[in-house]
Amino acid sequence: MEPVRITLIGKPGCHLCDDARDVVERVRSELAADGVATELAELNILEDAELARLHSEDIPVVRIGDKRHAIWHVDAEKFETAVRRAAGSKKPFWRR
């Protein structure tokens, strides 16, 4: 099975981006323990003019595959459910 592709769009020094990264990494760790593979790419709007044009007012942006999942704040339960759905897995870690 292909890993679920997660993208975090932000910039250095952004405390909301740091908070989002913490949630994403915690959920990824729980998912990995359940055998749900993910891969994370981080994109910096300061290094890409098009990303800056599209997202400068919305960071952080979290995408799952090709779909935007969240801006500004990442809810761990909703994120985990969405990643599991993308992976075809049904067992949420927060319901154990």
pTM (whole model) above 0.75 = yes
At 31, which amino acid appears? L
Residues 6+ apart with CB under 8 A from 18: none
Average pLDDT on 23-39 reads 96
Domains of the chain: 4-91 (3.40.30.10)
Model confidence pLDDT, tens digit, residues 43-87:
999 999 999 999 989 999 999 999 999 999 999 999 999 999 999
Label residue 18 by pLDDT band (50, 70, 90). very high
The CA distance from 38 to 12, in Å, is 23
Give the ranges where the chain is alpha helix by DSSP (H): 15-33, 49-55, 76-87
Element (H, E) at 7: strand 4-10
